[in-house]
Amino acid sequence: MSDKIRVTVWNEFRHEKTHKEVADVYPHGIHGQIATFLGENADIVTRTATLDEPEHGLTDEVLANTDVLIWWGHMAHREVKDEIVDKVQQRILNGMGLIVLHSGHFSKIFRRMMGTNCSLKWREAGERERIWVVDPGHPIAKGLPESFVVPHCEMYGEFFDIPKPDALVFMSWFQGGEVFRSGVAYHRGKGKVFYFRPGHETFPIFYQPEIKQVITNAVRWAAPVCGPYSDLSKAPMVSAPEEFTVSD
C-alpha cells in the first residue's frame, strides 16, 4: 500500500491518431506527456486511460484506485457514455479530484459537475496569452511568477458559463482584447474540481515549465482528504444524536 497520489490521465486520444501535426507535438499522446512529467515527482504515480478502451478505461477498479483524474477531450465529448459519467461524478463526490484541461470545458463530466453550459468565446489566431496569478496564497500558485506568457494559443474569452468558483487562481489576458477566468477551483461533495484553461493539441503547451508546475500543484491540491461522511448518493433517515431527546 502506497502513500503516493494515484493519478489517472484520461485522453480522448483521437487527434494524435488522425492529425500528423498533433502527433508531431505529442508523439505519445497528450496523456503520455502529462503522465510523463507528473511521474517525475516522487509522490505521484500515474496511469492513463483513453476513450476507445473498454469502459473508456475507467472501470470500477480503475476509478476506485484513482485519487486524481485528469481529463482531456475535444472532438468526441458525445461518445463518452452517460453511465461512465455517472460513475465518475459519484467518485468525485466521494472524494476523488478532477482536473479538467482546455477543451475539456465542454466534456460531459465537467458540465455535469458544474450544472451550467460551460460555454465561452473562442478564436484560433495563434495569439499571445498572459496568465496572471490572482490568489497568490493558493496552493496551486506555488512556485509561480506573478504572470507568465503562453506565446501562441487558442483564445478562450468571457463569458465563461460556470458557477462562481470557490477560488479564482488565474486570470488570462489575450492579445486580441479578451480576458478569461483561467484557473478555477471548486469543492464538490467530498471531492475537488480544478479547471485550467491553457493547452492545445498543436501547441507544445504541456512542455512549458509553468504549465507543468500548475498541473502538478493542482494534483496535490485535489488529492482526497480523509474526512467524514460516506455514500453521499443516499439521504439516510437518522435518529437524534444519543444525548438529545426530541419531544414537544
Looking only at residues 76 through 95 of this chain, which bind a copy of itself when binding is defined by CB under 8 A? 89, 93, 95
Taking CB under 8 A as the criterion, which residues in 173-192 touch a copy of itself?
173-179, 181, 186-192
Task: Find, among 8, 4, 20, the residue nearest to 201 by Cα.
Answer: 20
Give exposure, 67-104, as e/b (b: 16+ Cβ within 10 Å): bbbbbbbbeebeebeeebbebbbbbbbbbbbbbbbbbb
Q: What angle do CA 72, 78, 79 make, to 5 degrees?
A: 85
- Exposure of 130 in the CB half-sphere (CA atoms within 13 A): 9
Give exposure, 31-65, as e/b (b: 16+ Cβ within 10 Å): bbbbbebbeeeeebebbbbbbeeeebbbeeebbee
* Residue choice 4, 27, 52, 119 for contact with a copy of itself (CB under 8 A): 119
Site string (194-233) toward a copy of itself, x via CB under 8 A: ------------------------------xxxxxx--xx
Q: Rg of the chain's alpha carbons, rounded to an integer? A: 19
Task: Please state the closest distance from residue 11 (CB atom) to a copy of itself, in A.
Answer: 21
Taking CB under 8 A as the criterion, which residues in 36-65 touch a copy of itself?
none
CB 21 within 8 A of CB 202: yes
Task: Please state the closest distance from residue 169 (CB atom) to a copy of itself, in A.
Answer: 10
Task: Look at residue 58 and give its three-state secondary structure.
Answer: coil
Using the rule CB under 8 A, give the single segment among 8-16, 65-73, 114-122, 196-204 that binds a copy of itself.
Answer: 114-122
* Residue choice 60, 79, 117, 207 for contact with a copy of itself (CB under 8 A): 117
Task: Please state the closest distance from residue 155 (CB atom) to a copy of itself, in A.
Answer: 8
Q: Which is nearer to a copy of itself, 2 or 247 (CB)?
A: 247
Q: Does residue 123 interact with a copy of itself by CB under 8 A?
A: yes
Number of neighbouring beta carbons within 10 Å of residue 161: 13
Write phi, then psi, for 97 (nearest 5 degrees): -85, 150
Q: How many residues bind a copy of itself (CB under 8 A)?
A: 85
Task: Please state the closest distance from residue 74 (CB atom) to a copy of itself, in A.
Answer: 12
Angle between helices 209-222 and 29-39 (to 10 degrees): 80
Task: Please state the closest distance from residue 27 (CB atom) to a copy of itself, in A.
Answer: 26
Q: Which is nearer to a copy of itself, 53 or 132 (CB)?
A: 132
Taking CB under 8 A as the criterion, which residues in 124-153 touch a copy of itself?
125-128, 130, 132-139, 141-147, 149, 152
CA 80 to CA 57: how far, in whole Å?
11
